[in-house]
Amino acid sequence: MLLTLPPARRGWIVTSLGIAQTIGWASSYYIPAVLAAPMASSFGLSPVWVFGAFSMAMVVSATIGPWAGARIDRIGGRGVLMLSNLLFAAGLALLAAAPSPVVLFVGWAIIGLGMGMGLYEAAFASLAGIYGKEARGPITGITLIAGFASTVGWPLSGLMMATWGWREACLGWALIHLFLALPLNALLPRGSQKIAAPMPDAAEGPPPPRFALWLLAFVFAATWFNSTAMAAHLPGLLQAAGASTAVAIAAGALIGPAQVAARILEFGLLRRFHPLASARLAASAHPLAAVCLVVFGGPAAYGFAILHGAGNGILTIAKGTLPLALFGAAGYGARLGWLNAPARLLQAAAPLIFGAALAAWGLQAIWLTAGVGVLATTALFLLRRT
């Protein structure tokens, strides 16, 4: 019989799930930056093809996300998250063994299934199933740990690639899923185990207002677009503003620590306020950073990175806490899957769209993401605490 942790052991549950999430993000979202070039070279392709396969994986994740969320609502997250580890391992192993680009794309499609069933949305739904409306703290906790996914993932992928090769690096991540992430997810409580008796908000009631759902879906899509666009093109944007290559890279390295610092702030001071308050503050950070970059140029590179990173860090938490606070725990997993589906689709297109804007307009391309950020902030102010 597999060991499980009782729901009251919140610290152990958050730690186990946080480490498993770190592995999930590091072995999917963050491997193209390191492995795309050698992966494409081995097939005589441009890296664009590998990034295209990764975009396809995000589309697959958007498709499977609502089903995974509904399944977690019914049976809890333990089984779904464990299945995601098996899918991640299978997809990564297929990448490692791929004899042709077609098999490479199939491997990425399987990884996309793992992403839709095993990343933040599934983890948030699992915690909501255990803790109900008290899940805000645990949600923040796992994002604090998984905030280091790039810090861990990029060096580890690079080390495995330099030591053995890109295929062996993929196989290494597959083994990490099987022998570390899978047992950690197996520690989660079974679907029937709750922290307490169901709260009144968990009862079936009238569906949330459609207008509010559409607003929140737009906010998620807009903020994911900005986050992914910056992740792909931040050094080039900062250099267009006048920063040197060294400064642009150093500024980019501040985003991760800024995200974690902001999440600590959310875990401490901001948890006293409604999640809408912190989300509004966070969504306004990117437009403010954009104005500073245009006005002050290269010298504002560090400030831009810190503001953008801090806002992005809190918005990641808001993607889990806002639907819970606004609409309750009933049907949370399926609702979260549907709310994030447009975000995943737009996220897949963000690098291409912003890359074209940056090539055409230079620094002025920042007004595209700044405008999107202003619209997201406005949408958040239209939402009410109901």
Is 62 in contact with 116 (CB distance < 8 Å)? Answer: yes
Instruction: Return the half-sphere exposure (C-beta side, CA atoms, 13 A cut-off) of residue 242.
Output: 8
* Residue 196 pLDDT level (bands cut at 50, 70, 90): very low
DSSP 190: P
Closest CA to 325 of 336, 310, 312: 336
pLDDT digits (tens, 9 = 90+) for 197-213: 444 444 445 566 778 88
Q: Looking at the predicted structure, is the pLDDT value of residue 41 above 70?
A: yes
pLDDT digits (tens, 9 = 90+) for 275-321: 888 899 999 999 999 999 999 998 999 999 999 989 988 888 888 88
- On the 0-12 / 13-18 / 19+ scale of CB atoms within 10 A, 7 is middle
Closest CA to 313 of 27, 34, 120, 117: 120
pTM for the full predicted model: 0.82
CA–CA gap between residue 303 and residue 103 (Å, rounded): 43
pLDDT digits (tens, 9 = 90+) for 252-280: 778 878 888 888 888 777 777 888 888 99
The two tokens of residue 121 are 């949305």
**Farthest CA pair distance, the chain:** 62
CA–CA gap between residue 180 and residue 161 (Å, rounded): 20
* Residue 6 pLDDT level (bands cut at 50, 70, 90): low
